[in-house]
Amino acid sequence: MKIILINYDFPPNDGIGGRRWAKLAKGLAMSGHDVVVIKAEPLPGAANSPWTADVEHPNISVVELPRAYPMVMQRPVRSLLDRLNYRMARYRLEKTAKGTIYDISLGWTQDLWKTLDHLFQGEDVDWIMATGAPWNMLFDTAQWKNRYGRTKLLVDFRDPWINARNYGMAQLSGSRLQWEKHKQMEVLCAADVVTTPYPYLTQALRDFAPKSPAKFEVLSHFYDRLDLPTPQPNVHSDTLNIVYAGEMYVECDNQLGWLQRHLVQLRTEQPEWFQRVRFDFYSPTNRSDHFAGLENVHFHAPIGKNIFGILQKADGLMLLLTESKKDDLTTKFFEYLPINKPLIAMGASGEVSRFVEAEQLGQVWTTDMNFDQWLRALQTLKESRQNAVLHVEQFELGPTTEKLLALLR
C-alpha cells in the first residue's frame, strides 16, 4: 500500500506528538508499505526528537511544510517586543479564525492542499492518515478528501478535541466552540476509519457523530521492544528508588503537594525510611519548588531513550493521574509495562488505577491515603508486582501495527 501520513510534529520535530505515528510509520514501513509523511518544519533551535532514528527507513519519505502559525506564539515570550508582537498576532488570529486561535495548524490549508494535489498526480494512494492534535489540519484534510474523493481517510484522535483542556478550548465563546464542533463533525463524517487510544474517547466520538459511516476503533498506545535495554538481574538493596518520566501537568499540583506533606512527615517520624527512599523526576517541567528542603527528591531534564536504563534500575515507576488523565492508558503506561517493575498509580481513581489493581501491577496511591497507609505501601512496594500474570507482548508495536493494517483492509 501507499499511505500519506499527516502528522504536524513528526520527527525530527521534538515532542510527544510525533512518537505514536513515528513508531506506527516504522511498523508500516517494515511491513513493506510506502509511507509519505507531511509534517511541519522544526522550530528554530529546537532539539531533535528521541524517535528520529525510528523513521530513517527507505520506505518512509518526508515532505516538510513551512509553519504558517505566528512564530511569536510558538515560543516563550521574553521581552517587551515579544509581548507586543504576541498581542498583534493574537489580534490578527481573532479576526481571521472562527474557532480557537491556539491551533498551530491554522494557516496551513493552501500549502497542505497543494501538497496533496501534487502527491496524488499520477499516483495511486490507498490511504490518507491524519492525526491530531493540532486539529485544524484534520478539517483541511477532510475538506480535501471530500473534494478529491478517490482515496480513503483514517483520522486518529490522540486526545479529545472539543473537550480538550488546552488549545484554548475551555475558554471559547459559544460561537467559536460551535465552529470547532462543526469542524469535528465534518472530519468524522469524511473519515472511513476513526481511531483513538482510549475506549471512552472512541465511544464519545461515535456518540458525537452517530450518522458517520466511519468505523470507530480503539488503537491503543504501545511499547517498542527495540527501545528496551538488555534485561539485568535485580540487585538486592535496602534503598527504594521511585522514578517518574514525562510531562508535569499543572493539574498535578494536588498530587505533588500530598506527596510533599507525607515526605516531610516521613522525615520527622521515620527518619531511617526517609533516608532509604529517593524520588527522581525526569521531565521538561521542573517542579522542584514543591519539594524545597527535601534532599531525597530530584528533578532532571529528559534524557530520551536513555530513560529506559534508568527505569530498569528503579524499584517503582510512577504514573501521575490528574483528573483529566485518570482514564488514559498513555504511552508512558505501556512503556513502563515491559520493564516489569511495580507501577505506582498516584492521584485520581479511574481506568488506570483499576487496571493496575486488577492486573496486580503495583500500587494505587490516592490523595486520601493517610500517612500510615502510605508508609505500609512504601514498605511493601518491591513485592507488589510478584503475582502479575499480564501478557505484555500484546501491547508491543508489532501486534499494534497488525491491528492497524487490519483496519485498512
How confident is the model over 346-357, as pLDDT tens digits? 999 999 999 999
Single out the residue of 155, 156, 154, 152 nearest to residue 125, CA to CA. Answer: 152
Burial 100-131 (b: 16+ CB within 10 A, else e): bbbbbbbbbbebbbebbeebbeeeebebbbbb
Handedness of CA 367, 370, 374, 377 (dihedral sign): negative
pLDDT at 17: 86
pLDDT at 38: 98
CATH architecture of 226-393: 3-Layer(aba) Sandwich (3.40)
Single out the residue of 68, 196, 100, 186 nearest to residue 138, CA to CA. Answer: 186
pLDDT at 175: 96
Farthest-apart Cα atoms in the chain, separation: 74
Handedness of CA 1, 26, 319, 385 (dihedral sign): positive
Query: Which amino acid would we find at residue 205?
Result: L
DSSP of 349-371, one letter per residue? -SHHHHHHHHTT-EEEE-TT--H
Q: Are 343 and 336 spatial neighbours (Cβ–Cβ below 8 Å)? A: yes
Cα separation, 350 vs 326, in Å, equals 5
pLDDT at 389: 77
2-219, superfamily in CATH?
Glycogen Phosphorylase B; (3.40.50.2000)
Cα separation, 277 vs 375, in Å, equals 11
pLDDT at 78: 85
Q: Which residues of the chain have pLDDT under 70?
A: 235-236
Cα separation, 97 vs 88, in Å, equals 14
pLDDT at 223: 96
Cα separation, 201 vs 206, in Å, equals 9
pLDDT at 60: 98
Domain boundaries, the chain: 2-219, 226-393
Residue 38 CB neighbours (<10 A): 24
- The three-class DSSP label of residue 148 is helix
Residue 88 CB neighbours (<10 A): 12
Q: Are 285 and 268 spatial neighbours (Cβ–Cβ below 8 Å)? A: no
pLDDT at 388: 74
Cα separation, 163 vs 161, in Å, equals 6
Q: Are 341 and 385 spatial neighbours (Cβ–Cβ below 8 Å)? A: yes
Cα separation, 41 vs 9, in Å, equals 8
Q: Do domains 2-219 and 226-393 have the same CATH topology?
A: yes
